[in-house]
Copies of this chain bind each other. A is one copy, B any other.
């Protein structure tokens, strides 16, 4: 691979690495961005200054909010935007016969030094129609950025939102684990899911690569295959285990486990509750405990949860306890999770009472198996004893809605505002280079987002502001904000010399997301019939939109 001169990434004082996925190059775009760039260049129009907004039209998952994510990757992409010779040759060949040499020279010189990118901070709660990104620069360059920016924002925001919704249903006290790598849409579908689920409020992931790349806490113990790979306790050769404090050693941990299993089976409270447990499972648990005496968490549903998995687990956990180790808990991966979690908890309580092992009843119960918002909600309604949820397929593939529809619209070129019309009003774009604000009410809740023209005075605290629906004449309201927050900040000044917002560490983005969700009025957040959050434009921008609209729309003739 050619070594790139990451020129601009060093311009602004600080080196910015490239995107996490090295496949994110300037070629990760649609061919038409290059045909347009060529046509602009051929017409001498390529340097015209254009402003594009990136936004979505509808919140996903039937909800009324979205989490914005993907910004850091966008900035890293801009910072390292530079064509290799190899890429330039490929592009020029792809333009089939039409490509003049001068265009190759043009591509050779391209970077994002003339581009400015303004964005809502990553991890923010965001709403339809309000730009998440505003990108300004030479029209040909900004067009080339369209596809990669959409790609980097769409899925990131979708999965962060999905994670936030799962967190909302699960409640704050539960541990949420992302387990989706195997079902994700490709390798970095998996890596992206881990990163953006964490932003959306998950606690940990099973994805080791994501743990290494982003410092996300890792979780995982063993699978059914591990259990069925054992046949019997005879397979365990090395049977000794040192006590937790190192002071003594148990020479035959296997016998200790068997003794405990016997004691449980014939105890007063558990007599006749189960018969012979599965021995390959017992062997697997024992072996696992010998490897991880400090971190013993067992998958208990390979054969039969209550008649084999739980008794086997308890025998091993009690043996560990004799040596000063505290077992962590169990995982359930099938069956009626609510019922099984209750039964398991009862069993743990009985053990605690029967054998006086303090804290045994607090054993962590993890549940997995095709969980999603609905099943979490159903579990809550039934009641359950689950402490942690492992969520995979539905989270990472965003199964109920697999795409967010962010679009990238030209709103101004050469200081001329542009509007994109459509017979479908929801698809009409809001023209002009804009500023965007969030207005907060007396109770601290965000009340409304408002977009204004770039040069309008900003809304002020305590001042009465008319907020208008961008397209519906009759929808308008006065607001007296208690707090005004400007939403778009400069994250990529190019070489303009403007100040640049720092890219915060992942943990801070996650905290921002959690804090912002906390701040929302509850009726916007509920799963059933949530109230739409209001998005508005200033009176001046409203008038301008409608002036432009009338100007551009053809007048029909009914026949």
Q: Are A238 and B185 in contact (CB under 8 A)?
A: no
Chain A contacts with B in 192-210, Cβ cutoff 8 A? 192, 206-209
Separation of A424 and B335 alpha carbons in the complex (Å) = 9
Q: A352 CB to closest chain B CB, in angstroms?
A: 25
Interface status of A534 (Cβ within 8 A of chain B): no
Q: Are A209 and B36 in contact (CB under 8 A)?
A: no
Interface status of A357 (Cβ within 8 A of chain B): no
Interface status of A514 (Cβ within 8 A of chain B): no
Q: A22 CB to closest chain B CB, in angstroms?
A: 5
Known contacts A32-B221, A185-B186, A303-B554, A208 near B94 by CB under 8 Å: yes
Chain A contacts with B in 205-236, Cβ cutoff 8 A? 206-209, 211-212, 218-226, 228-229, 231, 235-236
Q: For residue A151, which residues in chain B have a CB less than 8 angstroms away from its CB?
A: 181-184, 186-187, 190
Mask: chain A, 276-299; 1 = CB below 8 Å from B; 0 = not: 001000000001101111110000
Q: For residue A231, which residues in chain B have a CB less than 8 angstroms away from its CB?
A: 416
Interface status of A50 (Cβ within 8 A of chain B): yes
Interface status of A113 (Cβ within 8 A of chain B): no
Q: Are A187 and B184 in contact (CB under 8 A)?
A: no
Q: For residue A402, which residues in chain B have a CB less than 8 angstroms away from its CB?
A: 185, 397-399, 402
Chain A contacts with B in 158-177, Cβ cutoff 8 A? 159
Q: A257 CB to closest chain B CB, in angstroms?
A: 14
Q: Which of A187, A295, A420 counts the most chain B CB atoms within 10 A?
A: A187
A225, closest chain B residue (CB):
B410
A184, closest chain B residue (CB):
B151
Chain A contacts with B in 290-341, Cβ cutoff 8 A? 290-295, 302-304, 307-308, 334-335
Q: Are A24 and B208 in contact (CB under 8 A)?
A: no
A39, closest chain B residue (CB):
B291
Mask: chain A, 419-446; 1 = CB below 8 Å from B; 0 = not: 1111110010000000000000000000
Chain A contacts with B in 31-75, Cβ cutoff 8 A? 31-36, 38-40, 42-45, 48, 50, 52
Q: For residue A156, which residues in chain B have a CB less than 8 angstroms away from its CB?
A: 186
Separation of A294 and B94 alpha carbons in the complex (Å) = 13
User: How many copies of this protein are present in the complex?
Assistant: 2
Q: For residue A235, which residues in chain B have a CB less than 8 angstroms away from its CB?
A: 43, 45
Q: Are B307 and A554 in contact (CB under 8 A)?
A: yes
Q: Are A143 and B554 in contact (CB under 8 A)?
A: no
Interface residue range, chain A: 35 or more
Q: A163 CB to closest chain B CB, in angstroms?
A: 14
Separation of A403 and B189 alpha carbons in the complex (Å) = 12
Which of B90, B207, B403 touches A30 (beta carbons < 8 Å)? B207
Q: A147 CB to closest chain B CB, in angstroms?
A: 5
Which of B35, B44, B183, B416 touches A237 (beta carbons < 8 Å)? B44
Which of B219, B237, B238, B275 touches A31 (beta carbons < 8 Å)? B219
Q: Would you give 23 A-B contacts (Cβ < 8 Å), ordered by A?
A: A21-B21, A23-B188, A31-B220, A34-B220, A39-B222, A39-B291, A40-B229, A42-B291, A44-B237, A139-B229, A143-B223, A143-B225, A146-B182, A148-B187, A154-B182, A154-B183, A183-B405, A185-B403, A188-B188, A224-B420, A397-B402, A397-B403, A398-B402
- Write the residues of chain A forming the contact surface with B, with a CB cutoff of 8 angstroms: 19-25, 27-36, 38-40, 42-45, 48, 50, 52, 87, 90-91, 94, 96-98, 139, 143, 146-148, 150-152, 154-156, 159, 179, 181-192, 206-209, 211-212, 218-226, 228-229, 231, 235-238, 275, 278, 287-288, 290-295, 302-304, 307-308, 334-335, 393, 397-399, 401-406, 408-410, 413, 416, 418-424, 427, 552-554, 556-557
